[in-house]
Structure 1
Amino acid sequence: MVKHVMSWSREILKLPFGTLYIGSLPLGCSLCHKGQKLVLFITGLCNRRCWYCPISDERRGKDIMFANEVQVRDLDEIIKQAMLMDARGTGITGGEPLLVFSRLIKIIKLLKSKLGSEHHIHLYTNGELLSRNHAILLKECGLDELRIHITSERSWKGVEIAINAGLLVGIEIPVIPNQLDYYKRLILRAESLGVKFINLNELEVSESNYMAMKLRGYDVKDDVPYAVKGSERTAVELLKWAKENTKRITIHYCPAKVKDAIQLKSRLKRIANKVAKPYEIVDEDGLLVKCVISSEGNMLPLLRLISEKVGKSKIHIVSGRYAEVSIAHLDEVIKLIKRSTDIKRKIKLYVVREHPITHLILEKIPLDI
């Protein structure tokens, strides 16, 4: 059973990498911070065209799905990706997920059925298309959190519909610099309606929204080139104001670097630890590290000798010209290669770092023998 143990406070509390909050951190956010949630992009279709939307052109306007950055084509593949990382929850995003409502309901039901009722699911939507029937069905199928991105008065209507249906509702919005008065009004209105939390996300820059940012006079931060300068300052000012002017609603600021520094790395580590072979180690970035031995000619006798020395589980002989071996035995491997004077000059040795999901080689370092 997933337990939420974050304490309640009207003080501004801080987590690693600049996360700030007042109140009690939402359970969905707590799991994300630990890298325990599958990120499910359910569709690129959307009824809005927000100028600050960071979704890539590869996904925007296309009805395609991605689970942890891997394109998936059916529901079974989603479950496979969730099980691969031993996910304790799923965050469903888009696009606008309500545009594929039947698919959305099927996915929520399947996740709960296959991974257990305690598998925590939160859903992102702008709320404009949310009907009373939608909200009731989402509640019945076990949705744990509904996060609404306010884009219009229709979004506020969606907030009211969701709360009346008994859903746990939060608001999640990017922080546009120097819009303090707007966000103050939003927070007070949300609290009066019974919204449980507001997530303030640092405004992010991507290839798809870069020109829109520049045209509006926004620039990137010096230390975080994918975050907008001034967004964090506005969020901190809002937290200080909220501390004195709100009573129960949670206000949570999430910096852009948290996704990269905490969420992504933690998620990769969970997956890597599950898929790593006995001859692979998991590094601090969640990548698989091993040695690769290759040769122009046959080196099978040498590879068998290495296997005898390091143990069969610590080497994977693909062919007489290629093998992968544990980096923990690198010194022993080099010694054995040096003794093989007849083929030593034909052998190449590398340390490689491999992505645990795509299995692409991200770094290949040649070693002198």
Structure 2
Amino acid sequence: MRESEYYSYFVGELPKGCQLCVKGAKLVLFTTGICPRDCFYCPLSPWRREDVIYANERPVKDELDILEEAKIQEALGAGVTGGDPLARLERTVRYIQLLKENFGENFHIHLYTTGALATREALEKLYDAGLDEIRFHPDIFSPNSKLFQKEIENIKNAKDFDWDFGGEVPVIPGGEERIRWYAEFLDNLGAKFLNLNELEFSETNLRALIDKGFKPVSDESSAIKGSLDLGLELLRWGEESTSLSYHLCTAKLKDAVQLRNRLKRMAKNVAKPYHEITEDGTLRFGIAEYEDLEELYSLLVEEASVPKEWLYINEKKKRIEMPEEVAIELADAVEGDVKFYIIEEYPTWDRIEVGRIPLP
């Protein structure tokens, strides 16, 4: 077992999908929120638990949205997820074909599925479309359910195709016997890997996890106490007991590495001249807020002599954007009800604001 440079742990070789993901080079293609299961630990937001489509944070209205997002990210591949992407099989197959047609055969695509809908016919369509890697997440923690039995039977079909296949499940404290069972099942089937994810609290699974007695590692972390330690124990066991590769994906990897690297890839392609790209990949700039933006714009250009190319009227957010240094200077010079701030935003489609400093 080794520790990676990405705050994760692994045995053997990282799956190709993970190798690109940690670099922030994987487009997250969410093809539907529909899923045949209702796992108590599911972290999906309420608005994604419907038949919706997203490319990263961008709502997809047509196929061009997917291509545009992949180009902005300079993506080298895509992770197809949901819900269960097989709940909208034809849509998912089309999107895989679309990405391969536009970015080439080397554009690596992996997909997550419960296995409940992974019939031989469905897998054949995915394979023919160009899917490179498939990861199965059956409900191993409900072994007596009919749906689980169906999932396991369907997973057996994956060995008949020339792709990388394996499993991916959360590390739930107390669930070590079931995870070991699944690892042995995959190993006997000829699978390549088992990915283990450190369990985390989210807005939607918080109550269910607390009701089951789970606690966070600390007040500053969303990670579940005991999940990481169990994951490390399972990797040590797996290295000795199976021939699978393992990757223990930590909460820190997702927050401090994968997201940060993706933001950096995107920032350089969306940044305007007045944006400063920070070390974390966020966009930093100044803004001015005022009731009449046209009036303010004229004042800044004609009376404050600010070059027009330094100013951008953002009607949607009701503000004028500008370089940070300009905002600092204007905050000292402009009187009245104009308010100036230094802003930090993600370079994503939704432009989430992560920092706001008022200027005196």
* TM-score > 0.5, shorter chain as reference: yes
Deviation at 1:346, TM superposition (A): 5.5
Tell me which amino acid in the other structure corresponds to 1:20: Y
Map Cα deviations across residues 35-94 of structure 1 (whole Å, 9 max, x no partner). 11111111111111222211122222x111122122223222122211221111111111
Is the Cα contact below 8 Å between 1:272 and 1:286 reproduced in 2?
Answer: yes
Is the Cα contact below 8 Å between 2:297 and 2:320 reproduced in 1?
Answer: no
- Which ranges of structure 1 fall in alignment gaps of 5 or more residues? 1-11
Which of residues 116, 119, 128 in structure 2 aligns to 1:131?
A: 119
User: What's the counterpart of residue 32 of structure 2?
Assistant: 43
Is the Cα contact below 8 Å between 1:89 and 1:121 reproduced in 2?
Answer: yes
- Which ranges of structure 2 fall in alignment gaps of 5 or more residues? 140-147
1:177-216 equivalences in 2 (<5 Å) = 177-216=173-212
User: What's the counterpart of residue 240 of structure 1?
Assistant: 236
Return the alpha-carbon distance in structure 2 between the equivalents of residues 294 and 210 of structure 1.
37
User: What's the counterpart of residue 52 of structure 1?
Assistant: 41
TM-score after normalising by structure 1: 0.85
Confirm whether residue 303 of structure 1 aligns to residue 294 of structure 2: no
User: What's the counterpart of residue 103 of structure 1?
Assistant: 91
Deviation at 1:190, TM superposition (A): 1.1
Which of residues 45, 48, 68 in structure 2 aligns to 1:80?
A: 68
SS in 2 for 1:18: coil
Is the Cα contact below 8 Å between 1:41 and 1:66 reproduced in 2?
Answer: yes
Tell me which amino acid in the other structure corresponds to 2:16: L
Deviation at 1:318, TM superposition (A): 3.7
User: What's the counterpart of residue 353 of structure 1?
Assistant: 344
User: What's the counterpart of residue 142 of structure 1?
Assistant: 130
Change in Cα spacing, 1:305 to 1:221, as seen in structure 2 (3 Å) is: same
SS in 2 for 1:58: helix
Root-mean-square deviation (Å): 2.5
SS in 1 for 2:67: helix
Return the alpha-carbon distance in structure 2 between the equivalents of residues 103 and 177 of structure 1.
36
Is the Cα contact below 8 Å between 1:224 and 1:257 reproduced in 2?
Answer: no
Map Cα deviations across residues 252-286 of structure 1 (whole Å, 9 max, x no partner). 10012322221122212211211001111112332
Is the Cα contact below 8 Å between 1:303 and 1:323 reproduced in 2?
Answer: no
Return the alpha-carbon distance in structure 2 between the equivalents of residues 299 and 255 of structure 1.
47
User: What's the counterpart of residue 79 of structure 2?
Assistant: 91
Runs of 4+ more than 6 Å apart: 305-308
User: What's the counterpart of residue 101 of structure 2?
Assistant: 113
Is the Cα contact below 8 Å between 2:287 and 2:327 reproduced in 1?
Answer: no
Deviation at 1:165, TM superposition (A): 2.3
Identical residues among aligned pairs (%): 38
Return the alpha-carbon distance in structure 2 between the equivalents of residues 284 and 202 of structure 1.
26
Deviation at 1:98, TM superposition (A): 0.9
Deviation at 1:323, TM superposition (A): 4.4
TM-score after normalising by structure 2: 0.87
Larger radius of gyration: 1
Return the alpha-carbon distance in structure 1 between the equivalents of residues 213 and 280 of structure 2.
34
